[in-house]
Amino acid sequence: MQVHTLFTGVANTFIVENSRGVVVVDAGMPRQASRIVNAIRARGHAPQDVRLILITHGHIDHAGSAVALKKLTGAPIAIHRGDARLVETPSLKIPPGRSAATEALGALTRAFGWVMPLETFVPDVLLDDDQSLREFGFNARVAHTPGHTAGSISILCDDGALFVGDAILNLVHVAFPLFWEDAASARESARKIHALKPRVCYTAHGRAFDASELDAFIARQDARD
């Protein structure tokens, strides 16, 4: 399995390739589908090699190009059933901020959400916790990691790689998301991620981080509790 990172406007999109094809983890902001397909072609794959468009949660920076990418590849779109509600309407959804500063930023962003609406869709696949993705040629399973949103998921691969979406960020250092629907769930999800013992975590915002950095993050949280 090879993982390629493509920054798609606000968040990272991951192109995951193996001998059975390609899985795209998160579809980026609107108008990024052609860039994603070009990156897939650059790695020797046809658009039709994409087996699944896997959305870690229903915010526009992750699902914004999902519909356009489906049109270009023919691949189904999968999202946790808890976030299907977020992609049914075009309005911008930003949860409460983790701090006063991020809440102010979120309020400002929400006010201008009409500038770039989400292209709505009905997911082809509704995911659940611990669901296998092998039928899509992806040796991985779903881990429900709510908090940032009710339906946020992480994807644990058999080789120890873990795609955490916005459950944990690494913009400056490993930290909780800047916005969350439920703080208690977000904290529980961070510990669930740690318990999965990933080899490496691919976050949607910032650089990937290894097990030692995850250990240090959890240790900081334990010290504060």
The CATH code of the domain that includes 66 is 3.60.15.10
Tell me: pLDDT of 37 over 80: yes
Distant-in-sequence, close-in-space partners of 220: CB < 8 Å, separation ≥ 6:
none
Distant-in-sequence, close-in-space partners of 32: CB < 8 Å, separation ≥ 6:
8, 9, 13, 64, 65
What values do phi and psi take at 224, rounded to 5?
-85, -20
Tell me: pLDDT of 7 over 80: yes
Distant-in-sequence, close-in-space partners of 162: CB < 8 Å, separation ≥ 6:
143, 154, 155, 156, 193, 196, 198, 199, 200, 201, 202
The residue range of the domain holding 140 is 2-224
Mean local confidence (pLDDT), 187-201: 97
Our count of domains for the chain comes to 1
Per-residue pLDDT tens over the stretch 45-68: 999 999 999 999 999 999 999 999
Tell me: pLDDT of 109 over 90: no
pLDDT tier for residue 114 given thresholds of 50, 70 and 90: low
